[in-house]
Amino acid sequence: MYRFGDGTPFPIQENFIETLLAAVDATVGTFAAAAEVEERREKALSARKEADEDLRRIGILDKAIEHAVLPLQPSADRTASIAQQAAQRALQAARAAIQQSRTQIDGRLAQLAGEPRTAKAAERTRTALAMFFEHHQLPDTAWRWSWKADSGERATGEAMAFAGKFRAMYDLDLDGAWSHVVRIGALVPGLDVVVPRKKTFGGVKRGRVHLDKCGLIAVERAPDRHVIVIREHAGKPSAGWRVLLRDPERTGTTLIALDAAGKSIGNELSLDAEEAVPFLELWSKIDAALLDLRDRRRTLRDLRIGDAALESILDPATVGRMLLAVLGPLSKQLRARSRVPNELSLKRDTGDGRREELYVPRETIERKYAMLPAAYRRLFEEIGLGRHETEEVTMADEMQTRPEPPPMRTLPPPPPGPILRSLPHAVTRLPPEPPHHPLPAPPDTPQPAREVLAKLPAVPPTLPRIPRMATA
């Protein structure tokens, strides 16, 4: 049993650290391919701009040459002057050179029209993903597989895995007894079973059969359906039975008789619990053997993301983001529950009160994607694989617009009024009153006028007016 670093049960019973490291390698491969496509796209865009600029300059050159020789009145007529004929030849040579340059630029633009070429990046992406999907599986993967053998032909096997938006289809590399019809006595000797058998004059009846010489010719395994097909003679086509050990439309184990061509005969036969035991024992042997083949000898044939084939996805980074989105929730839990700083750790119960610890330093993982551009490195850090704080991984199609903050409330302007009321803490000081000195009369003022002015009260110099205080 696997556990988090803090001892709580781990949701899947497999070495997720090994799966995570392999997934990081695969994702780095997809991001590296995407970065290569982006680099080629930028180079192609720059080259197209440069070619367009060359065409513009050549157009300017063409007009400049034409204006330069126009005063000489270029002409190819025999009666034209030598200067006119020379100007005509120069103009023709210049135009030929300009046309040749334009042809070269047009060819260059036609070549750039096919850039960036994504075939190499797609192959690199497929190779990186095949390395992961052929040896590992994503969390919560559901499997379907089948095996079939016909007389005189090599047996074939295939498997299909479903995890999130990923759907992977495999060919099973069969060897040994599974490359042809399997004699049941070689798998589980001595099985004696109850089956429906064909009557002499038509119909079927219950009867007992020893399966040692019978042959296994087909197997189907799905989460809700287990089927095996048996024929009476392993070495030649013959009648047999289809055994349904699990089926969504039936309860218990049921059998139906088949003729040599594989067509159904009569009605289904339901077995009780005791009669079903030999078939369940046979299934356990078949299941273990084919599961081993599925895990060790599968080759990726096709990989789909949603309804799209891998080869039809133009941006390899899309696949990498989806892979990290599947691993992200469990990866962040692993980081949060690892007790040693800067490590991801798992514990595994080995029995007898013992546990072993599996761990990987986050620095080791970080080195795997350190060469990628910053935009791609950030995706690994967001699911807890870097040394920075973790953030939520959000797919582009699941992002929601964050509501804008409400506008700031502004205070209304103060009501009009005296300056001293709007500034309650201001202290107004008047300048000191200057000493009183009577103004002398002008020298040309007559004596009576001086006497009149002297009798008037003294008036201080004019000061700035102070607003009157408002009364309550």
**What are the structure tokens assigned to 366, written together?**
């970080």
Q: Is residue 189 part of a domain?
A: yes
Instruction: For 279-329, write each residue's pLDDT tens digit.
Output: 999 999 999 988 888 888 899 999 998 888 888 888 889 999 999 999 999
Query: Considering 255, 287, 319, which residue would you say is the last residue of a domain?
Result: 287
401 domain residue, yes or no = no
For 133-158, the pLDDT digits (tens) are 999 999 889 999 999 997 667 899 99
> What is the number of structural domains in the chain?
2
pLDDT at res. 184: 94
Q: For 313-353, where are the E strands, in sequence order?
A: 343-351
User: Higher-confidence residue: 378 or 116?
Assistant: 378
Indicate the residue among 254, 287, 320 that finishes a domain.
287
The answer, yes or no, to whether residue 270 has pLDDT greater than 70, is yes
In a domain, 268, yes or no: yes
Q: Give residue 231's pLDDT.
A: 92
Q: Kindly state whether residue 136 falls inside one of the protein's structural domains.
A: no
Strand, helix or coil for residue 472: coil
Cβ burial of 369 (10 Å; 0-12, 13-18, 19+) is buried
For residue 172, pLDDT over 80 is answered with: yes
Q: pLDDT digit string (tens) for 316-343?
A: 899 999 999 999 999 999 999 988 888 8
Q: Which domain holds residue 97?
A: 36-117
Same domain, 196 and 106: no
| Residue 277 reports pLDDT greater than 90 | yes
* Residue 34, both tokens: 């995407």
Nearest to 368 by CA among 352, 379, 356: 379
Does 27 fall in a domain?
no
Report yes or no on whether pTM surpasses 0.75.
no
Q: Which of 262, 287, 312 lies at the terminal end of a domain, its last residue?
A: 287
Residue 325 covered by a domain: no
Supply the pLDDT for residue 114.
Answer: 64
CB neighbours (10 Å) of residue 101?
16
pLDDT at position 71 is: 85
Of 38, 33, 27, 34, the residue nearest 325 (C-alpha): 27
Q: Are strands 192-198 and 343-351 parallel, antiparallel or unpaired?
A: unpaired
Q: Could you report the per-residue pLDDT of 354-405, keeping only the tens digit for each?
A: 889 999 999 999 999 999 999 999 999 999 888 754 443 333 343 333 344 4
Banded model confidence at residue 92, pLDDT cuts 50, 70, 90: confident
